[in-house]
Structure 1
Amino acid sequence: MKKNRREKASYNNPVFKVSAIVIAFFTIWGALSPNSLAKNAQSVLNFTSYSFGWFYLVSVAGFVAFCIFLAVSKYGKIKLGKDDEKPEFSLFTWISMLFSAGFGVGIVFWGVAEPLTHFTNPPLEGVQPQSEESARLAMRYSFFNWGIHQWSVFTIVGLALAYFQFRKKSKSLVSETLEGIHIKRGKEPLKKSVNILAVIATVIGVSTSLGMGILQINGGLNYVFSVPNNAWMQMVIVLILLALYLASATTGLHKGIKFLSNTNMILVIVLMTFFLFKGPTVFIMDSLVLGIGDYLQNFAEMSFFMTPYSGDTWVQNWTVFYWAWVIAWSPFVGSFVARISRGRTIREFIVGVLVVPPGIAFMWMAIFGGTGLYMDLFQNTAIAEAVSKDVTTAVFVLLQEFPLYFFFSIIIMALILIFLVTSADSAVFVLGMMTSGGNLNPSNTVKMIWGVLMAGITGVLIISSGLTGLQAASLVSALPFTVILIMITLSLYRSLRKDRAESQFEMEHPEQMQEFDRKAQ
């Protein structure tokens, strides 16, 4: 009886109702009029990326600076929980969950495709395509787009949620991270609006990644096994994925998500190790070291790089899209990262979230993307040309140059599928929390509703406009949430400063604190 009342209460709140209606509306629109949705998506994509690209760049650069400041400051020693609390998960499992939820699907999709695309179409003017200079530039910008800028966004949201949830005993809701800002009027409507925007941004952001993964699986099946590459086959993959992640979501955080995340990480390590030693090992390590050096040396320039004088759209098509994509992802990844990070210090959290996953991404890019560059430069292959024709087949075109091609193609497709299931499983869990008043164990019914809606919006975005529709959806949903992220950053800083001041006062005036405690009791 209590369970039924609890599940019923999950439906009876405006956050669940409004966000579900909005997502259902777009799903129905795309199903009934895909051409209309595609046309509007393209218009919005062009307007948003052109008009607000500067805003995304400045905001994310600010998030990076704030994360670094917190990590090296006196606030780094503060624990996300009680002072004597221990981490809930082992370091390996924690890192595996971070990587799988954060961008496992994206790095497999773009790990070969992005360096080879920049190799063919260099980011800077005057650079000869498919030259030594364009190869070096391709690796530098691939590292930048998958570096700490992306993870600074996840770090801000995750840290704020973990701090207010485990340190201040607040609910696990994005709106609770604004407690450090003292709002006198309209506080409750603002909180509800923030939570609704967080839910919508999460669904759109996750759907973008699911859509890319589904397109890549279909592209791989077509390239390797000649399976039809069309909307019908993609819908079949959507349905299979839906069944898998709903089955996993009902097993809970400590079973399904933990098992899948560890499996992902083991597969990633095995694949990277094999191709590191089977491929051009010295070239890979040289390009990794050079790429990191170029990344650090040009860090500030790339952070604010725009092209107002030439009118080139490279920044909008790549960096702006990436920043918008991760901002749309951030409520989900942040909520999930916060949920698994109880008991860690702020410094440990920032180092683990901001540095380790980008480090893994750099290795993946250097091994797979670097190998593709090596083969085109020194072995006269045409991997870049094949990638320019169909970006979804990039990794499979590369694998064809190695022994055990079919075996590794199946492994890669399995890895993509597991990453998709892990991301969707985690997202369904987080959406359940967001729309159930911050309940850390949302009901299976609510999770299943969000699972179906997420699959629906993914399907209609693929059918209506493919990758363009997915990109447009991320850009639009991210714009208002960027403003909220700035507010969250300010709120977190004010709360940390107050927390530190109170702790200092307690250490310096223990007798007065005991008197306060007696009066409170």
Structure 2
Amino acid sequence: MEKRGEINHAVFWPSLLVVLGLSVPLAIWPEQGGRAVNAVWSFITDHFGWFFLLFGFFCFAVLIWLALGRYGNVKLGGPDEEPEFSTFSWIAMLFAAGIGGGIMMWCIMEPIFYLNGPPFGVKPGSPLAFEWAHLYGMFHWGFSAWAIYCIPTIPIAYAVFVRKEPTLRFSTALRPIFGKLVDGWVGVIIDVLICFGLVGAVGTSLGLEVPAVSAMLQGLFGVEDSIWLQLVIVLIWLCIFGTSVYRGLSKGIKVLSDINLYLAFVLIAFVLLAGPTVFILKMTTNSLGLLLNNFFRMTFWMDPITRSGFPEAWTVFYWAWWIAYAPMMGLFVARISKGRTIKELVIAECFWGTLGCWLYMAIFGGYSLFVEANHIAPLTQIMNESGQFAVIVATLQTLPLSKIAMFIWTVLIFIFLATTVDSTAYTLASVCTKKLRGDEQPARWHRVIWAIALASVSIGLLVVGGLQPVQLSSIIAALPLTPVLILLIISGIKMLKEDFPHLQPRKEAIDYRPAVSYQQQSVDA
């Protein structure tokens, strides 16, 4: 149901100014912007990297406690409420929203980065470097990433579908802590911070993935890879996700997500069967063993003595990226999760989300390492001479039916990022709408405005160029968001304890209905 309500000017205009403040200066003064980026990047990663790593593990531990504890079977909705979407479409939407085209790009080139700059003092290019190169992508796109995504979803969905909050916003889920202040200036500050984080996260995705697509188009059709081609790609993307977000959840985002999941399975199966199947399976088994042995070491490793820079450049960046995306995932996945239990939600994100990422990292990462190890294509040399995006093209060109594989890859990354930006524009419009129930959608014109605004951020990042500026947009966004997420966890646990005081350990009969009828309260109001 579309909502044509009035926008919340106190949130909308400051948030839009943040978008302009990020994109316009970068486009006008790229050299000065680049120097500022380097300085801010060094300060934040040096001083706060440890905080990001601790927060990632904290999210993982809280979710295990929630899913396996007394609140696992609490339903996010009424006791008899059925899920709005099928399980397949639900998982497809949350996966496509949370991962976007990033997985398509990093699963191929990330192992080559690690091979030439491995962790723990391992010699670059050595046999042990190959093992760590295959493993580390699975770690960065695994349980910790999805735990950060899942953390805000539970309290937001609970506030909207159980406590019947009238607005799908971060601030309203913090009502148990701040009370009526969430309807005033405290709520405005929180929601503007959320919008800031969303813009930074999606700006990172667009800034990284647009050059990857332009490099692929050069490999497919021989067109020159330039800033003008990248701007054309942004405009095409804008048309795709603008149309999709205009059509809404069921007719737009759901359809794109379903199509993408089917295409993803086809491409994964093709690479596994057409490539070195036994090698990939052996590497994957080996990596699972390494992960079980070294999960805690990698989770907390900051390399304080040798200061190689690996944790800051990779783990800290990834954790910040996930934190910056967490508000969008919390709001969007909460919107599509009515009728699911807390345990179902944790399993869907932390297990199925992780498994989907592992399939990509294991199969494509294994294949790119096989190509490098057997001298089928000099991927390290290509990266040094032509950049990281050329590695993707060179790797896919070694496959049988390479043109078809490259075309499917291009379609996939287009749709993946379109669904991510769709979800973000939808979420931003929801946050900036005054009243929006859980079963309503923000106005179409409002969703399209945010789609255009997000495209403008990517243009600013593309003009500056390079990997570090787009990484920095996530780092800066994540720093102020982390305390908000911690407060959200406290608020969620507070709501559960207040509404389910009868859920105590060792009780034989358990009633998973809240002690207070919020449905009746909502009707009375």
TM-score tier (shorter): over 0.9
The structural deviation recorded for 1:388 is 4.2
Matches within 5 A, 1:494-513: 494-501=494-501
Aligned to 2:419: 422
| Cα offset, 1:438, TM superposition | 5.3
Within the alignment, does 1:81 sit opposite 2:51 as a pair? no
Give the alignment of 1:311-322 within 5 angstroms: 311-322=307-318
Structure 2 match to 1:161: 156
Q: How many residues align?
A: 510
Describe the superposition over 1:23-65 as per-residue Cα deviations: whole angstroms up to 9, x where unpaired. Answer: 1233222232222222222211111111110010011110010
Question: Relative to structure 2, which stretch is displaced further, 220-229 or 472-481?
Answer: 220-229
2:134 counterpart of 1:134: no
Q: Which amino acid aligns with 1:425?
A: D
Q: Which residue of 2 aligns with 1:144?
A: 139
Q: What is aligned with 2:408?
A: 411
The alignment's C-alpha RMSD in Å is 2.4
Q: Cα–Cα, structure 1 residues 455 and 513, in superposed 2: closer, same or farther, change >3 Å?
A: closer
* Structure 1 residue aligned with 2:207: 211
Equivalent in the alignment of 1:435: 432
CA apart distance, 1:423: 1.1
* Structure 1 residues 438 and 285: CA distance shift in structure 2, 3 A: farther
Secondary structure of 1:123's aligned partner: coil
Instruction: State the Cα distance separating 1:66 from its structure 2 match.
Output: 0.4
Whether 2:189 is the aligned partner of 1:193: answer: yes
State the alpha-carbon separation in 1 of the partners of residues 27 and 115 from structure 2: 37
Match of 1:324 in 2: 320
Q: CA deviation at 1:474?
A: 0.9
Other-structure match for 1:451: 451
| Cα shift readout 1:436-461 (whole Å, capped 9, x = no counterpart) | 13523111221122111111111011
Match of 1:375 among 371, 374, 377: 371
Q: Alignment partner for residue 31 of structure 2, among 19, 35, 39?
A: 35
Q: What aligned pairs does 1:65-464 form with structure 2 within 5 A after superposition?
A: 65-125=61-121, 127-170=122-165, 171-182=167-178, 188-379=184-375, 381-389=377-385, 390-437=387-434, 439=436, 440-464=440-464
Distance 1:235 1:264, change over 3 A: same
CA contact (8 A) 1:336 1:430 kept: yes
Aligned to 1:489: 489
Q: Tell me, which stretches of 5 or more residues in structure 2 are unaligned? A: none
Please state whether the residue corresponding to 2:393 is helix, strand or coil. helix
Q: Which amino acid aligns with 2:389?
A: T
Specify the alignment match of 1:479 in structure 2: 479
- Give the whole-Å Cα distance in 1 for the aligned partners of 2:444 and 2:181: 36
Structure 1 residues 311 and 255 mapped into 2: Cα distance closer, same or farther (>3 Å)? same
Tell me how far 1:188 sits from its aligned partner.
2.8
Q: What residue is the counterpart of 2:470 in the other structure?
A: 470
Residue 61 to residue 463, structure 1, CA distance change in 2 (3 Å)? same
Contact 1:177 1:492 in 2 (8 A): yes
Higher helix share: 1
How far off its partner does 1:226 sit? 2.6
Question: How far did residue 74 of structure 1 move?
Answer: 0.8
Q: CA deviation at 1:232?
A: 1.4
Determine helix, strand or coil for the equivalent of 1:24: helix
Does the CA contact (< 8 Å) of 2:30 and 2:463 recur in 1? yes
**Does the 8 A contact of 1:41 with 1:469 survive in 2?**
yes
SS at match of 2:177: coil
Query: 8 Å contact 1:180–1:490 — kept in the other structure?
Result: no
SS of the equivalent of 1:168 reads: coil
Q: Secondary structure at 1:441's aligned position in 2? A: coil
User: What is the rounded CA distance, in whole Å, between the counterparts of 1:498 and 1:463 in structure 2?
Assistant: 51
SS in structure 2 of the partner of residue 501 of structure 1:
coil
**Shift in alpha-carbon separation, 1:464–1:379, aligned structure 2, 3 A:** closer
**Distance in 2, Cα, partners of 1:185 & 1:308:** 42
**Partners of 1:308 and 1:322 in 2: CA distance:** 19
Tell me, yes or no, if the aligned pair for 2:71 and 2:503 is still in contact at 8 Å: no
Distance apart, 1:186 and its partner CA: 8.3
Distance 1:213 1:513, change over 3 A: closer
Distance 2:182 2:91 in 1: 39
Stretch moving more, 399-408 or 380-389: 380-389
- CA displacement, residues 182-236 of structure 1 (integer Å, 9 cap, x when unaligned): 5687873221111000011101111211221111101112233332222111111
State the Cα distance separating 1:315 from its structure 2 match: 0.5
Distance 1:489 1:507, change over 3 A: closer
| TM superposition shift of 1:326 | 1.0
Distance 1:438 1:481, change over 3 A: farther
Matched residue of 1:85: which SS? coil
The amino acid of 2:290's aligned partner reads: D
Name the CA shift for 1:416/1:179 in 2 (closer, same or farther; >3 Å): same
Which amino acid letter does the alignment assign opposite residue 494 of structure 1? K
Separation of aligned partners in 2, 1:379 and 1:438: 59
Per-residue deviation, 1:250: 1.0
Deviation readout 1:283-303 (Å, 9 max, x if unpaired): 211222221221122111111
Aligned counterparts of 1:168 and 1:513: Cα–Cα separation in 2:
9
Q: Are the equivalent residues in 1 in contact too, given 2:172–2:182 (CA < 8 A)? A: no
Answer yes or no: is the 8 Å Cα contact 2:377–2:394 preserved in 1.
Answer: no
Unaligned 5+ runs, structure 1: none
Amino acid at match of 1:136: E
Deviation at 1:352, TM superposition (A): 0.6
Q: TM-score, normalised by structure 2?
A: 0.92
Cα 1:372–1:183 change in 2 (3 A) is: same
CA drift at 1:177: 2.0
Aligned residues of 2:118 and 2:133 also touching (Cα < 8 A): yes
Asked if the contact 2:245–2:426 (Cα under 8 Å) also holds between the matched residues in 1, the reply is yes
| Alignment partners' CA distance in 2, 1:212 and 1:32 | 20
Cα deviation, residue 380, structure 1 = 5.3
- In the alignment, the residues of structure 2 paired with residue 314 and residue 356 of structure 1 have an alpha-carbon distance, to the nearest angstrom, of 28
Q: Distance in 2 between matches of 1:105 and 1:358?
A: 15
Q: State the Cα distance separating 1:346 from its structure 2 match.
A: 0.3
Where 2:433 maps in the other structure, the secondary structure is coil
Q: Counterpart of 1:162 in structure 2: which amino acid?
A: A
After superposition, give the CA deviation of every residue in 1:58-80 in whole Å (9 maximum; x if it has no partner): 11110010011111101001000
